A and B are shown apart, each in its own frame.
Chain A
Amino acid sequence: MNLDLSILDYFQYEFMQRALISALVVGLCAPAVGVFLVQKRLALIGDGLGHIALTGVAIGFLTGVAPMWTTLAVTVAASVVMEILRSHSKTSGDVALAMMFYGGIAGGVYLTGIASDKGVANLQQYLFGSLLTAGWDEVWTIAIGGAVVAVLMLVLRPWLTAICADEQYARVSGLPVAGLNLLLLITTAVTVSVSMRAVGLLLVSALLVIPVVTVQQFTRSFKATMFAAMGAGLLIAGTGVVASAAKDVPPGSTIVLIGVAVFVVTALLAALVRRVRRVRRAHLPPEGEPLEVELPAASA
């Protein structure tokens, strides 16, 4: 009882309410995008965009514009370039991506160095998150951005699944593959930009990926994976904020550590379940499936 009250006490403070709202929005929308990235085997793209976002933050410092907007502009531009590279080059694509990621970090640190003369630059809070210092304006931006991303992903789920699972087939069925690919990367960029206050640019990718790989150990359909991952993201982010408040540690790292712990526990659990199930066959062969071998006559 005492403990419950003390947790509720934290949320009397407005900054805690703001932190919780932002974290819940990010926890809900990041896996909605992440499920497609995992399907497309682009799970690390969130990391790359997080690196590039650093340059966006630094441009914000330099120009005095809110870093969230400059980050959004830079990551969206970067995602367009990445999609062009990915679709037009065969072998050198990942080298070009690597260059962009290094360049993004270096550019961010370099520009921050220039801006620090003006005494405004603090990269740390963007690298590792600083939920508690977000104002209501920022919370609303996060909420609207997150909602747009989540709605787009939910409405376009079948089309995005098709281009992520089998791009060649999607092309032959006449789907707007290039446009959908671009849309997916741009929404990833938006997600990275709105999530950076919550978990930090270096940890953004964790919220895209961890809820998805955690729940897909138990799900059978894409639809269920998507909804369960969004639920898991919500729970992990919410628990993370509460736990960080109780221990007075940064929320970003707490959220990610809880996510990793949940993944490890479920992976072990799933291995155990598979072990038990192995004796019980899930799929009977279709009617009249032939043996394909001739059994030797039973030896008397």
Chain B
Amino acid sequence: MPVLNVRGATVSYGGRAVVRGVDLAVEPGEAVALMGANGSGKSTLIKAVAGLVPLASGSIELFGTPQKRFRAWKRIGYVPQRTGAASGVPSTAAEVVSQGRLAHRFLGMPPSRADRDAVTQSLAEVGLADHAHCSVDTLSGGQQQRVLIARALATDPDLLIMDEPTVGVDAETQAALAAVVADRIDAGCAVLLVTHELGPLTDRLDRAVVLADGKVVHDGAPPRPVGEHADPHHEHAHPHANGDTADEAIWGGK
């Protein structure tokens, strides 16, 4: 039974179909990349899988249950497309990561031993054990991204969904994260990864699904880089990766 089964999924934004009739299945323990150019619909598809945008037609099953009736969300670790881990009021890295355990806790009850251990362990996994009590808005962009990944790992997922987790992350950290994710794959966790660049994280892939204009154009072996992307020294520029502004300083920062 696939952990994720998408059949004929169509998603529309304002009457325009962004994802058109996509089929996608992820087996337990399988690592699949969802690739494609900007605007190909890969992020939209993953948002539909996470239940954040509604389907216009088609169906999504998670762990064999139709998405509408699916309740075991704690089996899914989700890393959203980077918007920064920081927000209006300061929060420590440990506080952000502990959000990943809330689905395991009863409303209003204090964290259990297992909850606290999972937070400590996932912070250590991404190499931020020493930064647990630092405010996330004092961390670098790459460190904030690792906090978000630690949060997804803390829920102890059977399916890890990551939307462009390596944007704005330096090469060394990418390699470290790839090792962390590879450990989880070896432990039987399935991974669905949205990316438009090939890097350390894509080396461990079983399969790649390539979208173009909202349709699947390739489903099979991971593609090899072409053109300037094939250059190992190629640096991807992401102007949207970090939106920090200085003028918020008087209000205590983000």
What is the interface of chain A, defined by CB distance below 8 A to chain B?
Answer: 35, 38-41, 155-156, 158-159, 161-162, 164-166, 168-176, 212-213, 216-217, 219-223, 225, 267, 270-271, 274, 282-283, 285-290, 292
Contact = CB atoms under 8 A, between A and B. Distances in A.
A290 B172 contact: yes
A274 B95 CA distance: 23
A196 B81 CA distance: 42
Interface in B96-116: 96, 98-100, 102-103, 105, 107-108, 111
Interface in B204-254: 249-252
A216 B92 contact: no
Given A165-B91, A223-B95, A173 B107 contact: no
Interface centre among B91, B103, B111, B252 (most CB of A within 10 A): B252
Return the 3 tightest CB-CB contacts between A and B, nearest first: A174-B73, A220-B135, A172-B78
10 contacts: A39-B89, A158-B98, A161-B91, A165-B96, A165-B99, A213-B251, A220-B92, A221-B91, A225-B90, A282-B138
Given A213-B252, A221-B90, A162 B74 contact: no
B71 A174 contact: yes
Contacts of B83: 166
B39 interface: no
Given A285-B140, A287-B127, A292-B172, 14 more contacts: A39-B88, A158-B105, A165-B87, A172-B50, A172-B161, A175-B103, A213-B252, A216-B89, A216-B252, A220-B135, A221-B92, A271-B250, A290-B170, A292-B170
B141 interface: no
Contacts of A173: 73-74, 76, 78, 99-100, 102-103, 155
A283 B99 contact: no
Nearest to B152: A169
Given A40-B88, A222-B91, A283 B98 contact: no
Contacts of B72: 174
Nearest to B105: A158
B4 interface: no
A225 B134 CA distance: 14
A296 B60 CA distance: 54
Contact of B88 (A41, A171, A287, A292): A41
Nearest to A221: B92
A221 B135 CA distance: 6
Nearest to B135: A220
Nearest to A290: B172
A162 B52 CA distance: 16
B51 interface: yes
B139 interface: yes
Contact of B78 (A165, A169, A270): A169
Contact of B90 (A219, A267, A270): A219
B89 A172 contact: no
A142 to B, nearest CB: 24
Contact of A172 (B73, B105, B172): B73
Contacts of B71: 174
Contact of A161 (B74, B99, B250): B99
Nearest to A219: B90
A40 B99 CA distance: 16
B196 interface: no
B246 to A, nearest CB: 11
Contacts of B87: 39, 164-166
Nearest to A282: B138
Contact of B107 (A159, A219, A271, A286): A159
B80 interface: yes
Interface in B108-154: 108, 111, 127-128, 130-131, 133-135, 138-140, 143, 151
A158 B102 contact: yes
Nearest to A43: B88
